[in-house]
Amino acid sequence: MTLVVRRLFSLSGSLSVFAVLAVLMSCSNNPYSEKDDDVNVLYTVYSEAPKTLDPAVSYNVTSHSIIGPINETLVEYHYLKRPYELMPGLAKEVPKPNVLGDGRVSYTFALREGVIFQNDPSFELGGAGKRTRKVVADDYVFEFMRVADPGVNSPVIHIFSKIEGFHDFGVRLLELRKDPAFKAMPVREQYQKAGPIEGLRAPDDYTFEVVLTAPYPQLIFWFAMPFTTAVPWEAVQYYDGNDGRPRFADHPVGLGPYRMTHYDKQFRIVLERNENWYGALHPEWKAPGAVYPGEGEEGDREKGYQSDELAGRQLPFIDRIEFRREKEAVPKFNKFLQGYYDKSGITKESFDKVIQGNDLSPEMASMGVSLDRVVQLSVSYIGFNMVDALVGTSAGDRGRKLRQAMSLAVDADEYIELFLNGRGVPAQSVLPPGIFGNDPEYKNEFRAVDLERARRLLVEGGYPNGIDPATDQPLKLRFDTAATSATQLITIRYLVDSWRKLGLDVEVKSTTYNKFQEKVDNRVHQIFQWGWVADYPDPENFLFLLTAAMADKHGPNSANFRNAEFDALFAEMKSRPDGDMRRSIIEEMLGILEQERPWIELVNPVSYVLFHEWVNHYKPPGFEISTLKYQGIDSTRRGELRREWNVPVMWPVYVLLVIAIAIIAPGVLSLIRERQ
Amino acid sequence: MEDWMISNLVTVGLLAAMVGCVFLIRRSRLWSEAAVELWKRRPIAILCVSLYLAVAILDSIFWVGGVDTGEDVVSAHEAKSVIDRLFADARERSYSSPFADVEFYGGKALAHPGSHPLGTDIIGRDVVYLALKGVRVAILIGGLTSLIAIPLSLLFGISAGYFGGRVDDFVFFVMSTLASMPGLLLLIALIMAMGRSTLSICIALAVTSWVGFCRIVRGETLKLREQDYVQAARVLGVSEVQIVLRHILPNLAHLVIITFVLTFSGLVLSEAVLAWLGVGVDGSWGQMIDQARSELSRDPVVWWNITAAGSALFVLILAVNMVGDAVRDVLDPRTLRERS
Amino acid sequence: MLAYIVRRLAYGAMVVFGVLFFLFVVFFWVATPDDIARRALGEKAPAIAIEQWKENHGYDRPLWPWESFDNNMLFAHYKSMLTFDFGRSDADDVPILEKIAGGVGPSLALTVPMFVLGLVASVLLSLIVAVFRDTYVDRMGIVLCVFGMSVSILLYIVGAQYLIAKLLRWFPISGFDPSPDVVLRFLALPIIVGLVSSIGSNVRFYRTVFLEEVHRDFVRTARAKGAGEARIMIHHVLRNAMIPILTQIVIAIPFLFTGSLVLESFFGIPGLGALSVEAIQGNDFATLRTMVFVGSLLFVVAQVVTDVSYSLADPRVRLE
């Protein structure tokens, strides 16, 4: 071989040896630093970077999972008890509504004395050297004023508009802000000048009163959400994004069991123990929100959620929580299998590996993984635009029969089996199981597949065999969607195929999210698919979706369903306490929906949660509430198992190394020979 | 006029054009020798491409009625292509592996046991059928996009090269502007704006890919303009349009062919990436791959979907690339001149 | 010379202006200010919040100058871009400069090794193939190249994730963590995929360049004079081929910064490419226009540098 050739080959060979060595050195699939092995840390995931961590504004699952442990609230949900029950958090008791004479209702919260905020440099604004201060009723008033402030853009401003003077405060603020001098003042002063809000009172530092203009029993549920936490004005003023300081939306300052210590929203967020938490500072209070509960649901003892040893133990158990971003479901699940995440849902791809029959597969069980199933307080449905000429109210009886027929063709059981691996129950009505008013025995007559009956209905409706008499062709309908990924489109394809069996030609119009919203806003959509996740466990939070008031622009009643009788019944049942009367009103309402079919109810998703043997006493909730302080980890055991499970397969590297040397050797040999 | 009727007309027109091309080639010694040379070099690749073309043509001829579509009542009223008819009654309920008798998960008996050489997808459609439907989509994307992009490049390139001056400046400016924008982003933005129909995706692809060829055309036109016979024609007062049509355009023909074949594969591959990002054409192989990639993590693995789509894509691209290389070698001006 | 540079720069500036205009038109064709607001605030946002948001972010003005000369968005768009006042992201109000600063690191960590290793590997391989031209090695090489080029990058990604990350467990499937002790693991797989998918076409390109040089007269002369093959390859062929190679390198530099959109998206690397894709899918006009502006600025600068260096090397070019 010529010299050049040998030189070239040996150069390539050397480079490949180098590459192989580099591979060897960095070889490991552990996404965390080795020094974190065996530390009391919980690893959890989020898929979308949170837009904001401002408790007045954030309204999605990711942000709430992060600020939930930071911004605790006056009342909380009991960790173990079902049906879901509220218990005191930062307030001493869960207040009952106090009816005032003239139709108004008030709630009085008695605040715990001695609660302080987490340490933070922003408290210097209150005095040099100050790192924290006591939490007082004014801090709650301040947060509510922020929600009322149109400039903050809180998405729940209309919920709290029932508070006396709430809306007017916002109007006054906007008016005053037209003056640039006013606008330049710090926010707290602006509120003081524009305020107060009549319905929010702080008669003393530890009493917080809320007065509503009309009864709204579900209001108390909103007090379990971060919108109503206490927010220090110092933090809002200090964290304005200037001079290198982060914005308040990226730097929450709270009073919960954890505080945020690292914020790289694109891939890593870290929470650590807050030593100022009232549970840590005042264990003698034995506050319900600071100790592990002693009561629970039936079956909790067997599952390890409840025990004498755990009851009354101080919270939280975990020192640090690491949130990591995983956009794709498959890598996330694989990392769970490798021990790098502590809990996981089950992707549909891995379902058969994990579940066999109705239980964990032997492979999973041998890894020590456990499974828990929870029905989610949510419902997914196919909706009809009731304003549409063909499928809506204006089509009268014809339209109704069409909707009923289409409802009879959709096989929710098969849908769940094919696309959700059985992780769901067919929804019979608007209300999912676990919500008052849901009757486990109730079977919606139009949600059992009956193609014969559907065909008869079509004949009655004037579309024999699905043929539109006007064109002598199959009736053309439209399914509008914003789904663009192949997996989502295929589920819609399945639905379309069901309707084709009736002879109905449903065309799928998939567009960008913008165009889809536009269609919905302009009410030109026809058939669509949507879902709703409960904010709180009350039937009002589902039934309101079909009231006429919600059909206005941007309202959640995308089906534009307007039914006077339904609305009247809704007004009656809204404020009633749970009981027989309420139940019978709800039954009537569901009866109307059953016949009118503005929705084809599809699925109540069941979430399957897998967790490793080192995760202790984690009871997954059916809707989004924060439970991080109740969870425990055995990190030593985790370290052991992780190392056991993640030995890289190295033999191909050695093979490559041998080949690389085989290529260099002749070149090197010839070099040596030349020297001699 | 229904969509499918237009497709039929266009297909017939295309076939007629192809026949016409064959006649033209036979009449010119230069071109027929080039064609023979091409065939000698790459018979297998050419056969491959022709096979794909044949499938695409078969999938473009539609008519209504005359086929039993089973449960799907609506289908009886729809126009079905030749390919559709071959697979009209091959639906199952869900996944099945190649040549299986039972469903893949759960073991229920299939409606048509043993008749799916590459299995079925999640809603029971035959995978061979899906892969075959993807052929027309791929060829449409490559073909239609080039059909838009090449005339665009010719128009701008020749104008810039021939007329020079302000026209050249303007064209050069437009080309530089487009070239300095990140292509994929622009592509996604255009498709989001225009919708996801095959036509808009082809337009978007054309807009982002005409610049490369335009530069070459401009360069060639500059050279051609300086040729003696062109100078002579101008002196004699022949109209500019005549000169362009009779002297410039024919001499660019070989470039057009080379470019068409070489960029075809790039376009189909781009569409696959677009499908993965959610803005591809419905029914393309890219969409099949996108959907199938999560299937690889199932246990047991569902491998036949991605194998079918991936292989179909790979073979087409490989064949086109090989033909493209051969075309470029055969039509290289140097060799053309040497031969003539 | 100076006049030439100035002319080129002026031309580049015009191109940037054109890009900004085109961007404005296309984006507002895709999304209206209402859409941007709704994306930023979330689905459940009431109408009053949307109006307020638009006012806060300057989207409540008319779009075009003919609607209102003093107060329109097109002029505001030009003004902020040209003064490099990028402002805050529409999606989450983070200063865009901060986002870019955060994304540059991961992008470069991915593209620079990929580029350097790719360059070295392609040049080496094509030199080898050129030395063995017209032999079996050459033909084998070409066939492998064409095969490599014909495989879609999606298949490379899927294959790599399946084989290397899942079966062999050498590297994590996706994700990113910049801590120095783990960062290499996350970069290894996308770099490998990027290398393997582009090596085919690169080797072919360089091979063509080298072969063109090899067939030149002066090489024949050198060989006739008795120079060794090694000397010929390195001193004559490689040096003359440097010009097209260098052109390639300079033109590639802007793309090093803008990042590989596909690789970053699928491997979860939070670089500028992923940022751009997110901006487009999330209707974040502010971020998107900044990314495109910066990208085209870099591209124009690279073009000018190339043109100027060409004209320095070859006086004939200047006279054009």
pLDDT tens-digit readout, A263-315: 988 788 999 999 999 999 999 998 999 999 999 888 888 888 898 988 889 99
Question: Long-range contacts of range C164-168, CB-CB < 8 Å, 24 or more positions apart?
Answer: C164/C189, C164/C192, C165/A29, C165/A331, C165/A334, C165/C189, C166/A334, C166/B297, C167/A649, C168/A648, C168/A649, C168/A652
Residues A90, A634: Cα–Cα separation, whole Å: 29
How far apart CA A283 and CA A291 sit, in angstroms, is: 8
Question: Are A500 and B278 a contacting pair at CB < 8 A?
Answer: no
C112 CB near a chain B CB, below 8 Å?
Answer: no
Inform me whether the C-beta atom of residue A472 falls under 8 Å from chain B C-beta atoms: no
pLDDT per residue as tens digits for the range B233-267: 878 877 777 777 777 788 888 888 888 988 898 89
Task: Say yes or no for a CB contact (<8 Å) between C230 and A7.
Answer: yes
User: Is residue A542 a contact partner of residue A431, using CB atoms and an 8 Å limit?
Assistant: yes
For residue A449, list its beta bridge partners: none
pLDDT for position A6: 62
> What Å distances lie between residue C14 and A207, A374, A438, C17, C18, CA to CA?
65, 61, 66, 5, 6
Residue in chain C lying closest to A59 (CA): C42
Angstrom distance (rounded) from CA C57 to CA C225: 73
User: Which one of A406, A476, A491, A512 makes the best mutation probe of the B interface by having the most chain B beta carbons within 10 Å?
Assistant: A512
| Chain CA centroid to CA A665, Å | 60
| E strand residue ranges, chain B | 62-64, 79-81
State the smallest CA–CA distance between residue A414 and chain B in angstroms: 9
DSSP state for residue A27 in the 8-state scheme: -
Contact call for C173 and A334, based on CB within 8 A:
yes
Structure tokens at A134: 């006591």
**Cα–Cα distance for residue pair A492/B127, rounded to 1 Å:** 19
Contacts of A503 in chain B (CB under 8 A): 73-74
Are C170 and A23 in contact (CB < 8 Å)? Answer: yes
Cα gap A272→A259, rounded to integer Å: 6
Q: What is the pLDDT of residue B340?
A: 47
Residue C133, both tokens: 């031209």
Q: Say what the ipTM of the complex is.
A: 0.86
Average pLDDT of every residue of chain A: 88
Tokens matching residue A244: 């290198």
Q: How far apart are the first and last CA of chain A?
A: 18
Residue C109's pLDDT is 87
Contact A293, A78 (CB under 8 A): yes
Q: How confident is the model at residue A411 (pLDDT cuts 50, 70, 90)?
A: very high
Section A101-120 average pLDDT: 92
pLDDT at B333 over 70: no
Q: Least CA distance to B290: which residue of chain A?
A: A486
Which residues have C-beta within 8 Å of that of residue C203, sequence separation ≥ 6? C122, C125, C126, C129, C141, C145
Say whether A138 sits in a helix, a strand or coil: helix
In the prediction, which pLDDT does C234 show? Answer: 66
pLDDT at A27 over 70: no
Specify the pLDDT at position C163: 77
Q: Which of A419, A497, A510 sits opposite B196 (nearest CB)?
A: A510
CB pair distance less than 8 Å for B180 and C296:
yes
Q: Using CB atoms within 10 Å of the CB of residue B229, give its burial: 0 to 12 exposed, 13 to 18 middle, 19+ buried.
A: exposed
How many other CB atoms sit within 10 Å of the CB of residue A664?
19
Pick out chain C residues at pLDDT < 70. Answer: 42-46, 165-169, 172-173, 177-182, 217-219, 227-236, 238-239, 311-320
The answer to whether the CB atoms of C182 and A334 lie below 8 A apart is no
Which of chain B's residues have a Cβ under 8 Å away from the Cβ of A486?
275, 287-288, 290-291
How long is chain A? 676
Whether A325 sits inside 8 A of C47 (CB atoms) is no
Q: Contact, B289 vs B310, CB < 8 A?
A: yes
Determine the average pLDDT of the residues in A370-387: 92
Q: Over the Cα atoms of chain A, what is R_g?
A: 30
How much is the pLDDT for B216? Answer: 86
Per-residue pLDDT tens digits for B133-188: 999 999 999 999 999 999 999 999 888 888 878 888 888 888 888 888 888 888 88
Residue of B44, B141, B168, B177 to mutate for C, most C C-beta atoms under 10 A: B177
Angle at A442 between CA A439 and CA A445, to 5 degrees: 150
Chain B residue with CA closest to A328: the answer is B294
pLDDT at A228: 94
Q: How many residues does chain B have?
A: 340
Average pLDDT for residues A543-548, to the nearest whole number? 93
Of A437 and C253, the structure prediction assigns the larger pLDDT to A437
- Name the percent of chain A lying above pLDDT 90: 51
Report the half-sphere exposure of C84 (CA within 13 A, side-chain side). 4
Express each pLDDT in A327-359 by its tens digit. 777 678 878 888 889 988 887 667 777 887 778
Q: Is A352 at the interface with chain B, CB within 8 A?
A: yes
The answer to whether C295 contacts chain B (CB < 8 Å) is: yes
String of DSSP letters for C258-301: H--HHHHHHHT--SHHHHHHHHHHTT-HHHHHHHHHHHHHHHHH
d(Cα A375, Cα A437) in Å, to the nearest integer?
16
Cβ atoms of B53 and B14 within 8 Å: the answer is: no
Confidence of residue B227 (pLDDT cuts 50, 70, 90): confident
Q: Which residue has the tokens 């055969």?
A: B330
Predicted local confidence at residue C299, as pLDDT: 84
Q: Is there a contact between A268 and A279 (Cβ–Cβ < 8 Å)?
A: no
Closest approach of C160 to chain B, Cα-based (Å): 12
Cα(A20)–Cα(A24) distance, rounded to whole angstroms? Answer: 6
* pLDDT band at residue A3 using 50, 70 and 90 as cut-offs: low
Rounded to the nearest angstrom, the minimum Cα separation between A234 and chain C is 21
Whether the pLDDT of residue A248 is over 90: the answer is: yes
pLDDT of residue C231: 64
**CA proximity to C157, closest of C258, C274, C265:** C265
Specify whether the CB–CB gap between A649 and C170 falls below 8 A: yes
The pLDDT assigned to A84 comes to: 87
- Which band of pLDDT confidence, cut at 50, 70 and 90, is reported for residue A1? very low
pLDDT higher than threshold 60 for residue A2: no
Subunits adjacent to chain C (3 or more Cβ pairs under 8 Å): A, B
Q: At a CB cut-off of 8 Å and minimum separation 6, what does A577 contact?
A: A217
- Rounded to two decimals, the pTM is 0.83
Task: Please give the mean pLDDT across all residues of chain B.
Answer: 86
pLDDT category of residue A323 using cuts at 50, 70 and 90:
very high
Instruction: Enumerate the H helices of chain C as residue ranges.
Output: 2-30, 33-41, 47-57, 73-82, 96-131, 136-150, 153-160, 183-214, 217-224, 229-231, 239-258, 261-267, 272-281, 285-313, 315-318
Least confident of B35-39, B197-201, C130-134: C130-134
